[in-house]
Chains A and B, each alone.
Chain A
Amino acid sequence: GESVGLHLPTLSVQEGDNSIINCAYSNSASDYFIWYKQESGKGPQFIIDIRSNMDKRQGQRVTVLLNKTVKHLSLQIAATQPGDSAVYFCAEIPINDYKLSFGAGTTVTVRA
């Protein structure tokens, strides 16, 4: 079936650098996308979301970009900090649907 997936399972980033985490989705009916951060031993934490009528959305130190043409989603983290070390998941819901589907996740490790 259709699913959400991530390009890279791991990402190592130098503290202070910018991070880019990528996600490819296959369901063209996807309408709503969310990025979650999961720290060890905790549940996923909402970071930022974007709807399909937008290309870009910015939060505090984070930016989500959506390219519907190639069905690609990315999360950019500015000035990566040690506290950003976690597993990042993208998730999507098709329009008029309810099922929040997750990709496999990318483990981000921040080097001091």
Chain B
Amino acid sequence: GAGVSQSPSNKVTEKGKDVELRCDPISGHTALYWYRQSLGQGLEFLIYFQGNSAPDKSGLPSDRFSAERTGGSVSTLTIQRTQQEDSAVYLCASSLASGRANTEAFFGQGTRLTVV
């Protein structure tokens, strides 16, 4: 597609349920990022993928959070046993390259997760 696509755009879930958030990066972009943004706050780094590998998972808040990327393209962020404090907008970004030849990262519209 022309841009980063995230689905669903909104998700309301009951506390304790599992949720899956999907990110379709821009075609050909090898780097993919997940961020979390609470209301009125900045962007909190969660995880980064280079291809299918995630060299840094240190930003994941707890072991209830996991992410995978397949085929160097689509990524899924999974939150198990959701808690109310997980409520936030989850943003995905992709970039053509990273490291020595960093290029701008383009963001999707985000998934607004509400845990009730």
Contacts and interface: CB of A to CB of B under 8 A. Distances in A.
Interface residues of B, number: 25
Contacts of A99: 45, 48, 56
B70 interface: no
Contacts of A31: 102
Interface string A81-109: 00000000100010111111111110000
B88 interface: no
B110 interface: yes
Given A45-B107, A46-B104, A46-B106, A100 B99 contact: no
A99 B110 CA distance: 19
Contacts of A103: 42
A100 B33 contact: yes
Given A98-B56, A98-B99, A49 B45 contact: no
Interface in B59-116: 91, 93, 98-100, 102, 104-110
Given A44-B107, A97-B99, A102 B43 contact: yes
A49 B42 contact: no
Given A89-B43, A103-B42, A98 B106 contact: no
Interface residues on A, range: 20 to 34
Contact of A102 (B4, B42, B99): B42
A95 B50 CA distance: 16
27 contacts: A31-B102, A43-B107, A43-B110, A44-B91, A45-B107, A46-B104, A46-B105, A46-B106, A89-B43, A93-B98, A93-B102, A96-B99, A96-B100, A98-B31, A98-B48, A98-B56, A99-B45, A99-B56, A100-B33, A100-B93, A100-B105, A101-B45, A102-B42, A102-B43, A102-B45, A104-B42, A105-B42
Interface of B: 4, 31, 33, 35, 41-43, 45, 48, 50, 55-56, 91, 93, 98-100, 102, 104-110
